[in-house]
Structure 1
Amino acid sequence: MFRVRSIQVDHGDSLLVSYTSDGHVRHLLVDGGPANPSKTLQKVLNKVLGEEGVNGRLRLEALVVTHYDLDHIEGVIELLQQKPSWLEIGDVWFNGYEHLQPADKLGPAQGDKLSRLIRSLGLPWNASFPNDRAGGEGGAIHQGVLPVTLPGGLEVRVLSPDEPGLKALARVWTNPQSPPPDEGVVHGDSLGPNDRWPLNDYRDYRIGGFTADGSTPNRSSIALLLTFDNKRVLLAADALASVVTSGLKMHLPDIRPIDLLKVSHHGSKRNTDRDLLDRINCRRFLISTSGAKHKHPDFDLIALLLSRNNCPDIIFNYGKGHWPGEWRNKPPSWRFNAVFPRSNDLFVDIEL
């Protein structure tokens, strides 16, 4: 069994990856969404504990925080602030301030909110990645590191960030106590402001030309290629298409099909391009957002996915609401299979 559950955390990302080895179900959690009053993430983990826990405990082989945007990190902070006694975490993967700066610029008391939480709980931190400094936590996570194999045989390759992306983040993260602010849409993401329902004919939308995302936090996103039981999943976080493509060329020089792409940046047209789609030859696309805040996914992004594929699966983790639910009523020219969560589920469940 190899599955991805995309949890409903409003406009953010939270993905629970599960895989079975020798009859034992193992888990990887990627991001926690924004701070969530309804505590959806905790509800889902409680459900998984009841169904797949072992001796009343649930273990995450790794907890990944892809970058410091609030719609990815706040839910993790909330989870760790009131960490359930039954939750075990094998390793936290997160590039903090200490992974960006030379060792001689660091002091023992330095650390942002998440870094302090990780240390206070005594959790392993980037332990899976080599550290070229004496003592302290593991090393920085970037596309040049060797693949990591988690217990049970899940192979993980880092496609983003690249080293220039980490250096760019280091230039703006100048205060060790406080990371740079979430840029949100301030960086001019052009999140489809002219998109309006009802949809026009598919051929009316732009699929040529591309203006890339310029956000420094997004450029530092941890994008992962997961391989298990001959299936491949690409979790693109909010990463830049050019960086993910270069990571694929580095780790998979021979083009191989990807079985599922978690589309970058919730379906923004500025984070997925034709070069990336040509490289992965994928027919199943996951879009993680309620659409309520930023009106994701962009219509141009959906059109781009269709231009490369004949009737692909496009999977939404919300079945209702301002934006994803509208795709239930798409015109016939928009030829794709729209997949939504089952009624009353707090996630969409994708089996590979």
Structure 2
Amino acid sequence: MFRIRAIQVEHGDSLLISYGDDKQPRHLLVDGGPSESSDTLESVLNDVRRGQRLKLEVLVVTHYDLDHIQGVIRLLEKNPDWLDIQEIWFNGYHHLKPSDIMGSSEGDALSKLIRDRGLSWNASFRKDKNETEGGRILQSKQPITFSGGLEIRVLSPDEEGMAALAKDWRDPTSSPPDSESVPDDLMGRSDNWPPNKYAEYGGSAFVSDRSVPNKSSIALLLKFDNKRVLLGADAYSDVVEKGLKMQFESPVPIDLLKVSHHGSKGNTNKALLDLLECEKFLISTSGKNHKHPDHALIARLVARYDTPKIIFNYSADWPGNWQRSPANWPPYNTQYPNDGEAFVDVLL
């Protein structure tokens, strides 16, 4: 079994990955969405445990954007007595620079909860087994293997992304400032339905996301049973591309790409897609806040005319528009949640 469950957390991300034996799979959770979706997150986790305890091999918090971190904070505040978290992966303030060790003076909300709960923090990245807290989560050639045979490689962030966040985040007692800076229409707010002719989206130059928190985002490559999943979080495409090239000398088949930044056209470029050899794409968003996914992003996904599959975790509103293929666009298939389910499942 290798399953990615994209939970409905409005404009945010929350992914429950399950692998191993069908009857007793292992699980990891990546992000928790915004605070207003925390009840949905807890309900989905509660249903998965089927009356038993639920163990997360690892809980990953990819970066500080509220639509990724707030649900995790709420979950830890509620502290369900049926939930066991073996390890948390999260780059806190003291991880930004190798020499910048703040110790117990760090006081942002998530870091305080991790310490108050006595949770294992970045243990897989310890350089010394006697360290109480692990090191930075950073782009690396070295894979990490979990019980049951799941292999994880970190593709983002790189040193530059960590340094950029360190420059912006000067107060360890609070979360970093929301310094997102984007050019006009990078978030797709002026997109309308139906989209323009397909050819109109192919000629414009790629303009990258410039959000500092996104530049520090943790992107992961998972491998289990010879299947590979790339979880892009909100990472920059050039950083993920560099991370892949550290791992592989040639393009590598990817069985599923969780598209970065909810389908923003500023986070997935043609160079990255050409490197992936992927035909299955997952987009996590309700589309209500930013009209994600952007038309230009969908145009890049279908550009090779190989009838890719695009999977959405919401079937209504903006994502639901893509159930109907626009006239004269390349062909593609779609998948949406089953009726009554607060998630969409991707089985690999």
Q: What TM-score, normalized by structure 1, do the two folds share? A: 0.94
| Cα separation, 2, equivalents of 1:140 and 1:38 | 27
Cα offset for 1:309? Answer: 4.3
Q: What is the one-letter code of the residue matched to 2:304?
A: R
Q: Does 1:315 align with 2:305?
A: no
| Cα separation, 1, equivalents of 2:267 and 2:45 | 30
Alignment partner, residue 122 of structure 1 = 118
| Larger mean Cα displacement after TM superposition, 22-31 or 231-240 | 22-31
| Among candidates 263, 269, 272, match of residue 273 of structure 1 | 269
| Cα separation, 2, equivalents of 1:104 and 1:62 | 25
Alignment partner, residue 333 of structure 1 = 328
Contact 1:207 1:307 in 2 (8 A): no
Cα offset for 1:188? Answer: 5.4
Deviations 1:150-174 (A, max 9, x none): 1111000000001111111111111
| Cα separation, 1, equivalents of 2:236 and 2:61 | 17
Identity %: 58
| Larger mean Cα displacement after TM superposition, 16-25 or 211-220 | 16-25
Q: Does 1:2 align with 2:16?
A: no
Q: In 2 relative to 1, CA 205–189 (structure 1 residues): closer, same or farther, beyond 3 Å?
A: closer
Alignment partner, residue 236 of structure 1 = 232
Q: In 2 relative to 1, CA 42–22 (structure 1 residues): closer, same or farther, beyond 3 Å?
A: closer
Alignment partner, residue 27 of structure 2 = 27
Deviations 1:37-75 (A, max 9, x none): 56110010011011xx7xx21000000000000000000
Q: What is the one-letter code of the residue matched to 1:306?
A: V
| Cα separation, 1, equivalents of 2:168 and 2:204 | 33
User: How do residues 16-165 of structure 1 correspond to structure 2 at under 5 angstroms?
Assistant: 16-21=16-21, 24-36=24-36, 39-50=39-50, 56-103=52-99, 106-131=102-127, 135-144=131-140, 146-165=142-161
Deviations 1:200-222 (A, max 9, x none): 33223235421111111101000
Cα offset for 1:145? Answer: 5.7
| Cα separation, 2, equivalents of 1:72 and 1:328 | 26
User: How do residues 282-321 of structure 1 correspond to structure 2 at under 5 angstroms?
Assistant: 282-321=278-317
Contact 2:18 2:27 in 1 (8 A): yes
Q: Structure 1: which 5+ runs fail to align?
A: none
Q: In 2 relative to 1, CA 309–235 (structure 1 residues): closer, same or farther, beyond 3 Å?
A: farther
Q: What TM-score, normalized by structure 2, do the two folds share? A: 0.95
Q: In 2 relative to 1, CA 149–66 (structure 1 residues): closer, same or farther, beyond 3 Å?
A: same
Q: State the number of aligned residues.
A: 347
Cα offset for 1:78? Answer: 0.4
Cα offset for 1:83? Answer: 1.4
| Larger mean Cα displacement after TM superposition, 192-201 or 4-13 | 192-201
Q: In 2 relative to 1, CA 118–145 (structure 1 residues): closer, same or farther, beyond 3 Å?
A: farther
Cα offset for 1:20? Answer: 1.2
| Cα separation, 1, equivalents of 2:60 and 2:185 | 25
Q: In 2 relative to 1, CA 74–223 (structure 1 residues): closer, same or farther, beyond 3 Å?
A: same
Q: In 2 relative to 1, CA 166–126 (structure 1 residues): closer, same or farther, beyond 3 Å?
A: same
| Cα separation, 2, equivalents of 1:329 and 1:185 | 33
**SS of residue paired to 1:61:** strand
Contact 1:232 1:258 in 2 (8 A): yes
Cα offset for 1:310? Answer: 1.5
Q: What is the one-letter code of the residue matched to 1:19?
A: Y
Contact 1:13 1:289 in 2 (8 A): yes
Cα offset for 1:101? Answer: 3.7
Q: Structure 2: which 5+ runs fail to align?
A: none
- RMSD of aligned residue pairs (Cα, Å): 1.9
Q: In 2 relative to 1, CA 257–102 (structure 1 residues): closer, same or farther, beyond 3 Å?
A: closer
